Chains A and B, each alone.
Chain A
Amino acid sequence: MILLQVTNPGSNVSLVLYFGTIGMLALTIGLIVFIIFHQRKVIRYQLRLQRMEHDQQKLLLNASIRLQEEERQRIAADLHDDAGPLLATARLYLNENLVNLDKTTQLQSIYNAKQIIDDTIQLIRNISHSLMPPTLKNFGLESAVNDLFQKISGSGSMNASSRFHDYRERLQAENELIIFRVIQELVNNILKHSNASFIHLTQNTSGSKFFIRLHHDGRGITQNDFIKLNKSNVGLGLKNIQSRLKVLHGKIFFEKDMSQTYYKVTIELVKEEEEEKLQEQE
C-alpha cells in the first residue's frame, strides 16, 4: 500500500514524506554510526598512547634499576678489591706473632699497619664522597658544580666554567642531589663522547621555572636523537637522566645553537612550591 502511494503520480506529498522520512532516518543512523566509530578510533588511539607511555616508563624503570645495580657492583668491587686487600695486609702486620718479635720490628709493623689503615680510611672516604659529595651536602649545588668543573679544568683536557645567576636560596637537599647527578651524567657524556674543548654551565630562573643550561663545542645530540635513544635499549645514562628529572617534574631539551656551532642542553625545572602542588595533584 505504501508503494502504491509512492508510485501514485498525483501524490507529491507522499513522495516527499517517504523520501524525507527515509532520508532523515538514514542521516540519523549515519550520524550515530559515525559517532560510535569515531569514538572507538579515538579510544584506540588513546590506548596506544597509554601503552607507549607505559612501555617508556618500564624502560626508564629498568634503566634506573640497572644503574642502581651497577652502582652497587662498583661499590662492592671497590670494597672487595681495594679495601679488602688493604685490611688483610694490615692484619698480616698485626698478627699474633707480633708480640714475639723484637721492639724495632714491632714498631715498624705497627707503623706499616697504621699507614695501611689510613689508606683504607681515605679509600672509604672516597667511596662515600662519590655517593654523596660533601661539598654538595655542606655548601649546596652551586659550590658542588663549581668544584666539579674546577676538577675538570684542573685536568687540563677541557675548559669548564659555571655561573649561577639566581641561586640565593638552596633547594631541598634531595632535589639538589638529583640535579647534581643529572649535571654529572651530562658532563660525563660530554667528556666521553663529544670531544669538546669547553663546557659552560649557566643557571637562571624565570617566573616559576628554574633553568640550567650547558653549552659545549663538541659533538652532541639533538632532541630527536634523545627521543630515539630513550626508546631504544641503549643510552642507559640518558634514560637515567629522564627518570631522575621525572621525579622533579622537570624537562630536558637537547638542541644545536642558533649559530650551529654549539650544542645546548637545557634542564627546565619547576620551583619547589610549584612542584609540591604538582605532587599533591598526583
Chain B
Amino acid sequence: MMVIFFYCIISFLTDLSYDFLKRRISNFYIYSTFTIVEYTLFALFLYLCFKEKAFKFILLLCSLVFFGLAFYNLFNKGGGKEAAGFDSLSASLEALFIIIYSILFLYEQIKDPTVFYVYYSKNFWIILAFFIYFSSTLFLFIYAATFTKQEHKIYWGINFISNILKNIFFSISFAMKKTQKAQYPIESLYPDT
C-alpha cells in the first residue's frame, strides 16, 4: 500500500508542478518520465501482490520489454515525434501490460481457495482502479500522438474522468480497515464449530 501512497504523492506533485515544468522541459519528457515512474510503481505493487512465480516471471519479462522501449523512446525523442508532446508508445504499452497484470491478478484471486470475497481486500480495489483507468485510456494513449491541440483538449477529458475514477477506487482502498477479514458466513451459522 505504501507503493500506491507514494504514487499518489508523486502524481499530486506532478500535477501541481506541471505548469512550472512545462515552461522548462518539453511535454514529451514530462509525460514519458511520468509514464516510466508510474509503470515502475504499479508493476512493483503487482509484483508484490502476485503469489504465483510464473506471473512474477511474466511481469519481469514484460517490464524488461517496457523499460527497453520506454528508455529508447525517451532518449531518442520518440523517434522524431517529440513535437506531438506525448509518448504514445510507452503509455499504450504501459496500459496494455497493466491490464494484462490485472487480469492475471484477478485470475489468481479466483483460483485461490483461501480468498473468500475478493472485494474485502484492499488490493482488489487498487487493481480495479488500474484496470478501469487503463482500459478506458488505452485507445486514448494509442491515438494521443496524432492529436492536434484542439483534439487533445477534447479527448483528454477521458483521461481526467478515468483519473477521477482511479482516485475514487484508491480512496476506497485506503479507507478500508487494515485487516478487513473475509466474513465467512459459516462461522456465524455454526458458532460452536
Binding site for B on A (CB under 8 A): 1-2, 5, 13-14, 16-17, 20-21, 24-25, 27-29, 31-32, 35-36, 38-40, 42-43, 47, 50-51, 54
Q: Given A28-B132, A54-B190, A54-B193, A39–B138 Cβ distance below 8 Å?
A: no
B143 within 8 A of A: yes
B18 within 8 A of A: no
On whether the beta carbons of A25 and B132 are closer than 8 Å, the reply is yes
Question: Which residues of B89-142 have CB atoms within 8 Å of chain A's CB atoms?
Answer: 99, 103, 106, 109-110, 115-119, 128, 131-132, 135-140
Known A20-B139, A42-B110; 17 more pairs at CB < 8 Å? A1-B154, A5-B154, A17-B139, A17-B155, A21-B136, A21-B137, A21-B158, A24-B138, A25-B132, A25-B135, A27-B135, A29-B132, A32-B131, A35-B106, A36-B118, A43-B117, A54-B190
B79 within 8 A of A: no
On whether the beta carbons of A31 and B139 are closer than 8 Å, the reply is no
In whole angstroms, how far apart are the Cα atoms of A38 and B109 in the complex? 11
Question: Which residues of B163-193 have CB atoms within 8 Å of chain A's CB atoms?
Answer: 185-186, 189-190, 193
Please tell me which one of the listed residues B103, B115, B185 contacts residue A31 in the complex, with CB atoms under 8 A apart.
B103
B76 within 8 A of A: no
Nearest CB on B from A163, distance (A): 43
In whole angstroms, how far apart are the Cα atoms of A52 and B189 in the complex? 13
Nearest CB on A from B139, distance (A): 4
In whole angstroms, how far apart are the Cα atoms of A13 and B145 in the complex? 12
On whether the beta carbons of B143 and A13 are closer than 8 Å, the reply is yes
In whole angstroms, how far apart are the Cα atoms of A277 and B158 in the complex? 59
Return the 6 tightest CB-CB contacts between A and B, nearest first.
A20-B139, A28-B135, A24-B135, A21-B139, A17-B139, A25-B136
Please tell me which one of the listed residues B116, B118, B136, B155 contacts residue A24 in the complex, with CB atoms under 8 A apart.
B136
In whole angstroms, how far apart are the Cα atoms of A42 and B151 in the complex? 47
Closest A residue by C-beta to B185: A47
Nearest CB on A from B65, distance (A): 21
Interface centre among A13, A14, A27, A29, by most chain B C-beta atoms within 10 angstroms, is A13
Which of chain A's residues have a CB closer than 8 A to the CB of B117?
A: 39-40, 43
On whether the beta carbons of A51 and B135 are closer than 8 Å, the reply is no
On whether the beta carbons of A32 and B128 are closer than 8 Å, the reply is yes
Nearest CB on B from A11, distance (A): 9
Nearest CB on B from A47, distance (A): 6
The SS class assigned to the B binding surface is helix
Please tell me which one of the listed residues B106, B138, B193 contacts residue A32 in the complex, with CB atoms under 8 A apart.
B106
Q: Given A17-B140, A35-B110, A35-B118, A51–B131 Cβ distance below 8 Å?
A: no
In whole angstroms, how far apart are the Cα atoms of A27 and B138 in the complex? 13
In whole angstroms, how far apart are the Cα atoms of A259 and B117 in the complex? 51
In whole angstroms, how far apart are the Cα atoms of A25 and B137 in the complex? 9
On whether the beta carbons of B136 and A43 are closer than 8 Å, the reply is no
Please tell me which one of the listed residues A25, A35, A40, A51 contacts residue B109 in the complex, with CB atoms under 8 A apart.
A35
Nearest CB on B from A52, distance (A): 12
Which of chain B's residues have a CB closer than 8 A to the CB of A2?
A: 154
Which of chain B's residues have a CB closer than 8 A to the CB of A40?
A: 117
In whole angstroms, how far apart are the Cα atoms of A179 and B63 in the complex? 61
Please tell me which one of the listed residues A1, A17, A54 contacts residue B143 in the complex, with CB atoms under 8 A apart.
A17
In whole angstroms, how far apart are the Cα atoms of A51 and B106 in the complex? 28
Nearest CB on B from A227, distance (A): 23
B146 within 8 A of A: yes
Nearest CB on B from A21, distance (A): 5
Closest B residue by C-beta to A38: B110
Nearest CB on B from A60, distance (A): 15
Nearest CB on A from B127, distance (A): 9
Closest A residue by C-beta to B155: A17
Nearest CB on A from B112, distance (A): 10
Please tell me which one of the listed residues A24, A32, A50 contacts residue B186 in the complex, with CB atoms under 8 A apart.
A50
Nearest CB on B from A180, distance (A): 31
Nearest CB on B from A217, distance (A): 44
Which of chain B's residues have a CB closer than 8 A to the CB of A38?
A: 110
Which of chain A's residues have a CB closer than 8 A to the CB of B146?
A: 13
Which of chain A's residues have a CB closer than 8 A to the CB of B109?
A: 35, 39
Which of chain A's residues have a CB closer than 8 A to the CB of B154?
A: 1-2, 5
10 A-B Cβ contacts within 8 A?
A: A1-B154, A5-B154, A21-B136, A21-B139, A25-B132, A28-B136, A32-B106, A35-B110, A39-B109, A50-B186
On whether the beta carbons of B118 and A39 are closer than 8 Å, the reply is yes
On whether the beta carbons of A16 and B139 are closer than 8 Å, the reply is yes
